[in-house]
Chain A
Amino acid sequence: MFWRVVVAEMKKNVRQFFFSRATLVWAFVLPLGNGLYLYFLYFPFVTKSVELEFNASTYTLDLVGFTLIGQLLYSFFVMVMVVGAAFDREREQGTLEALLLSPANRMAILLGGALASAVWYMWMLIGVLFSWIGFFQVNIIINDFLALFTSVALSYLSLVALGMCLEALFIHSRRGVMYGTMLQEPIMFLSGLIFPLQAMPRGLLVFSYLIPLTFGLISVRLTLLGGASMFDVAVPLGILAFMTATLFILAMWLIGYAERQAKVKATLTQF
């Protein structure tokens, strides 16, 4: 029954999101626009590369590729926020009670909602790759495909787990969207989505290393642009895996807690 609910939830979310052709265009054009914005942001600087220090080594990465990977994961992060607000939308459209009235496993509902973002993201990814190949000439150096795949997959799963935690919070309170938005800018800034972490004041780095996205970005950038192997990125991948597992466990606890609180405080229908 668990996977049946996951699939049903995914189908419903995708169907609701792609209800019109305009959403297809939006999801395709958005990353292209973001890519152009970032490209011209760095354009005045003469340099064509960026140096990334990691694990006592210095990697020289293509500047455009560096920023585009940041943009790639940022687009997905935005998606996760959108999906994370699913329960809030259910509350507003008056379907949250029908959903929670059913005996369906709550984790399955959360997971289905979060995985639906993968479908949207795949479509966005086509837009991103199109812009990479068609417009920007990115210097890609891949030596270990397994390391690249693991980095992308773990980055994706960590964001899914984060989305599930946010979604669980949205059951409890209509302020969930506000909390989510409050998190968005600090995560963007601290994770090194737009600029290398070594440019960050040392004191703030502590917070950077509390964010899974930071480790996702390091490993994806190094494996896609710097030719790093699995061995080279073993540390960030290990930390990322640990953080992802912790977030999944947190989401499981949060959903039970949030539903109970919503029933005690009668907030299921407030918006």
Chain B
Amino acid sequence: MTIESFAVEAQQLSRDYVSTKRSHILGRKTTTTIRALDHIDFEIDEGELFGLLGPNGAGKTTTVKILCTLLEPTGGHAFVKGYDVVKDAARVRKIVNMVAGGERMLYYRLTGRENLRYFADLYDVPKKEVSTRVDRLLELVGLIDRADDEVEKYSKGMRQRLQICRGLINDPEVVFLDEPTLGLDVNIAKDIRKFIREKIVEEQGKTVLLTTHYMYEAEEMCARVGFLSKGKLVAVGHIEELKRKMPTGFSMEVLVTRLTDETLEGLRRLKKVKRVLITDYEGEAEGEKIDRLIINVDSDAAAPEVLDYMSTMHCRTISVNIRGPTLEDLFMFFTGEP
């Protein structure tokens, strides 16, 4: 079965992981099944940069590995450019590539250039083109001056840039980027995001599936996203469309100390308040722990009432920020996860 209208399509895709354990070396085997993906459906158009978002363990990497043929699904189907990722795996491998953040996928004892030439051979890149393509890619990511140094001498950011070169060596039609900026410092991550958006998508017109748990990253790069939570795809669509689905138009981000359960309950009962979430925040003010509240309200006019109530409950407000919904708000709204 082939579906040719989308670059990538998942139909009721599921994946279970089965692990067996013994209590001790001669003990009885116990089997546990964990559902990493639970009947997910989504499509990605040609030339689109689609974001798959979710916290760690949501099923993002599992989805990517199935789509690039490194893992078999336990249920459902997936297609890349119309090819079934299980039945036509050999064809799929020719037209895709994958870059994973925080993972090696490179040979550290070889130089950057040797790594790329090796992968060019594996992908059967025309011999006449290899040198030009390798140099062009190294130049694109700014590694041409260090091309003949062993990868073990590269910094983390340089290795990640070389990984991107490896991911593009076969000129893939579909690129899977699995948390490509994981663990990188702010400036390098910014450069890589810019490179992906401008060079890979806008200039070369490739289809990209980006997975990330950094909401700002997806907001900066993608027009359309999907939210994965505990293996389920809870929402898919254009960010603006999804924002319109939120029943409340504004969010108050409030940093407070002396927050009690009673205050939280009281806040939730206020008429203009639609939803209150408490999220982790690391910090103290005058020796007291700071909590971060995201309060969804009808309008910005609700703010004084909320702040008055908190004051009467002896909370100390450190800062207040009122804004329209962000991708993080959307994620929390659809998944219920802070």
Interface residues of A (CB under 8 A from B): 1, 4-5, 7-8, 11-12, 15-16, 19, 93-95, 97-104, 260, 263-266, 268
Contacts and interface: CB of A to CB of B under 8 A. Distances in A.
Contacts of B72: 260, 263-264
A186 to B, nearest CB: 24
Nearest 10 A/B pairs, CB to CB: A94-B104, A8-B121, A102-B122, A98-B105, A103-B93, A104-B122, A19-B109, A263-B72, A1-B124, A103-B94
A7 B121 contact: yes
B93 A97 contact: no
A102 B96 CA distance: 9
Interface centre among A8, A98, A102, A103 (most CB of B within 10 A): A98
Given A93-B104, A102-B122, 14 more contacts: A7-B121, A8-B122, A12-B114, A16-B107, A16-B109, A94-B105, A95-B105, A97-B105, A98-B119, A98-B166, A101-B93, A102-B93, A103-B93, A263-B69
Contacts of B110: 12, 15-16
Contacts of A94: 103-105
Contacts of A102: 93, 119, 122-123, 170
A75 to B, nearest CB: 23
A101 B109 contact: no
B106 interface: yes
B281 interface: no
A102 B124 CA distance: 10
Given A12-B107, A19-B109, A102-B93, A97 B122 contact: no
A148 B32 CA distance: 57
Nearest to B114: A15
Contacts of B118: 8, 11-12
A101 B68 contact: yes
13 contacts: A4-B121, A5-B122, A7-B121, A12-B107, A15-B110, A16-B107, A95-B104, A95-B106, A101-B70, A101-B96, A102-B122, A102-B170, A103-B122
The size bracket of the interface on B is 20 to 34
A100 B124 contact: no
A209 B103 CA distance: 46
Contacts of B90: 103
Contacts of A265: 18
A4 B122 CA distance: 8
Contacts, number: 76
Contacts of A266: 17, 71
B214 interface: no
Contacts of A98: 105-106, 119, 166
A238 B143 CA distance: 54
B114 A99 contact: no
B87 to A, nearest CB: 13
A97 B105 CA distance: 7
Interface in B84-130: 90, 93-94, 96-98, 100, 103-110, 114, 117-119, 121-124
A44 B17 CA distance: 60
A95 B151 CA distance: 13
B5 to A, nearest CB: 24
Contacts of B69: 101, 263
Interface string B59-85: 000000000111110000000000000
